[in-house]
Amino acid sequence: MRRIEDYALIGNMLSAALVGRDGSIDWLCLPRFDSPACFAALLGSEDNGRWKVAPVDPDARVTRRYLEDTAVLETRFETATGAVTLTDFMPRSEEDAAHVDVVRIVTGIEGEVAMAMQLTVRFAHGCTVPWVQRKDYGLSFVAGPDAAELHADLPLEGRDLSTWARFTVRAGERVPMTLAYHPSHRKPHFVDDRIETLDRTVTWWREWVCRAQTPAMPPAWHDAVTRSLITLKLLTYAPTGAIVAAPTTSLPEALGGSRNWDYRYCWVRDSALTLYALLNAGYREEAEQWRQWLLRAVAGSPHQMQIMYGIGGERWLPEYELPWLSGYANSRPVRVGNGAAGQMQIDVYGELMDTLHAARGAELQTQAEAWQMQVTLLAHLETIWREPDQGIWETRGPPRAYTHSRLMAWVAFDRAVAAVEHHGCTGPVDHWRAVRDAIHADICTHGFDAQMNSFVQYYGGRSLDAGLLLMPQVGFLPASDPRVAGTIAAIERGLMKDGLVQRYSTDATDDGVGGEEGAFLACSFWLADAYVMAGRHDDAAALFERLMGLRNDLGLLSEEYDMAAGRQLGNFPQAFSHIGLINTAHNLAGTHGPARQRAKREAPRRRASVDRGNRGG
Ligand SMILES: OC[C@H]1O[C@H](O[C@H]2O[C@H](CO)[C@@H](O)[C@H](O)[C@H]2O)[C@H](O)[C@@H](O)[C@@H]1O
């Protein structure tokens, strides 16, 4: 079983694939992120679908990298007889979102290398064997709604319901292969020259990366931030502007455990935070597209706003299990859909308002409907912010009056007040100020435990929550406030394990799931941010460097980390973790990064681009 960090991500903003160090693509959903997988070996065995291209020699030495500033992966295999590279990428498809190609090019570098290809297509999440036909360009695979064409000039052989080929690559030779997806009721599409497509793809990514505005920081941090930005971009679904939390489902939060969830959807929280990070790097187009997606997704009654949607804005995301998949490292069940879609999580209003506030600061074009939507959502939030909810961690236990949920309700009204004060928006600002101040007082009265000298996870409880680390970052109280300092100290004592932060204690909090989980990487970055804000720069830098050291060889992070096993855990790569990396790098660089600050008056650490005012939504 490959470790999670043995995978690389390639994608084309329609879907994405995970490529193992051994040259095997073990995860690919087509034609979009949330479609059924046609390669699901990641969550089962090779019989659930994969595409492996590698030397016949099992002892080949493997190194890999992304071509600089791109999402094009290059794996280098060295054997006793020579060396080859395997270049993997997914070209962007401008014309038709239903056409998705995966391109693989083997290039001979030295001597000659005997290679093997094995392709096992299993549509419908790794269970449906397709009907395979020979074509002059390779093979065609059809089952139900799905079809794919293999374009490969190789001696293909069918055996054991898989396609195999043996071939030798000599120095200077190039052997391209393409798997091209199309809906089965339509004709296959033309596959362009692969070398030209590679050049186009490399150029496209380099131009995209060139647009990033990153503050001065050590080169290693800069490279890490660039890789994180590329990874966030790979999680966007171009046709609608939605952003998925991760491209995978059911990579476990504990090896062998049942905390396995489907992240191939657009959470208002995760996508708003992703956008915040992209916007602060100067990516306004993505922000505009996401705002349009959001407007369409939440359109209608504010009472029906969900915490997450499908990438097309779908609301019905029923959760079910796939019993034919044994699970990553036998972690069952494998789930598709996500029951959290029906939960109430009050913090999402704050994430949303905060990101739209940043968009105003970045002078995103005025949009009256967007502001009207915010006014309507605030009116709804005013009626619900006191209610118990499932909180930022989407617990499946009893609803609680979570302190973090109320903190973010405060953020929502604070940013609305700023919109009127600084950006010429109109609304009942005196009333919003009063609601904001009432929430502040409520949290300080009910969310703080004087004996513990700490804010607590929920009113009436005595447990801790890493979400409270965001208090100074969003501007609720300064890091110098003794209550905030007390909370940081309590979290250091109570939620830190092996130097990383748990989001909460699974012993102290009934999250309705059971079992343990790893350290939550985003929360560990939040602690580093809190250290920066408290003036503890050495502690912040040390924690940041530690977290940087947990990335895989390509700079990718999953959701959680198991310090005892020394392994990444959870869905991969996860937007939350990469957002954390970008924010903390910016904060440490000392240039008012995207750490969310109180919107009014002070904003001492904000980017100039985010401070300039404009009107509207
Ligand atoms: O641990 C229980 C919950 O875990 C998932 O939620 C987590 O991932 C979300 C997407 O990144 C994130 O928004 C949330 O804050 C995290 O707790 C899962 O999606 C839930 O269904 C599950 O209950």
Give residue-wise pLDDT tens across range 175-211: 999 999 999 999 998 998 999 999 999 999 999 999 9
Res 466 pLDDT > 60: yes
Question: Could you tell me if the CB of 270 is within 6 A of ligand 1?
Answer: yes
What is the chain's length?
A: 617
Q: How far is CA 400 from CA 327, 348, 404, 459, 537, in A?
A: 32, 16, 11, 8, 35
584 neighbors 528 (Cβ within 8 angstroms): yes
pLDDT per position as a tens digit, 37-87 = 999 999 999 999 999 999 999 999 999 999 999 999 999 999 999 999 999
579 neighbors 277 (Cβ within 8 angstroms): yes
In the chain, residues under CATH classification 1.50.10.10 are 211-611
Question: Could you tell me if the CB of 354 is within 6 A of ligand 1?
Answer: no
- Residue that the structure tokens 């904003």 belong to: 603
Q: How far apart are CA 398 and CA 509, in angstroms?
A: 10
pLDDT cut 70: percent of the chain above it: 95
Least confident of 88-92, 539-543, 600-604: 600-604
Q: How far apart are CA 209 and CA 242, in angstroms?
A: 20
pLDDT per position as a tens digit, 442-463 = 999 999 999 999 999 999 999 9
Q: How far is CA 538 from CA 215, 261, 345, 541, in A?
A: 19, 36, 35, 5
Average pLDDT over residues 210-237: 96
Q: Which segments of 281-346 does DSSP mark as H helices, in order? A: 284-298
Q: For residue 95, what pLDDT band results from cuts at 50, 70 and 90?
A: low
Least confident of 158-162, 265-269, 291-295, 576-580: 291-295
State the distance from the centre of ligand 1 to the C-alpha of 341, rounded, in angstroms: 10
Res 403 pLDDT > 70: yes
pLDDT confidence of residue 507: 86
Res 611 pLDDT > 80: no
Rounded to 10 degrees, the C-alpha dihedral 55/57/63/65 comes to 10
Average pLDDT over residues 266-283: 90
Q: What is the ipTM of this complex?
A: 0.95
In the chain, residues under CATH classification 2.70.98.10 are 4-208
Nearest CA to ligand 1 atom 7: 393
Q: How far apart are CA 156 and CA 178, in angstroms?
A: 14
State the distance from the centre of ligand 1 to the C-alpha of 259, rounded, in angstroms: 9
Domain covering 211-611, topology: Glycosyltransferase (1.50.10)
Domain covering 4-208, topology: Beta-galactosidase; Chain A, domain 5 (2.70.98)
Give the atom of ligand 1 at the shortest distance from the alpha carbon of 267.
Answer: 13
55 neighbors 79 (Cβ within 8 angstroms): yes
pLDDT confidence of residue 610: 29
- For 344, residues 6+ apart whose C-beta sits below 8 A from its C-beta are 307, 384, 387, 389, 390, 399
- The two structure tokens encoding residue 303: 């009472």
Nearest to 29 by CA among 125, 101, 99: 125
State the distance from the centre of ligand 1 to the C-alpha of 245, rounded, in angstroms: 9
Nearest to 466 by CA among 475, 456, 480: 456
pLDDT cut 90: percent of the chain above it: 85
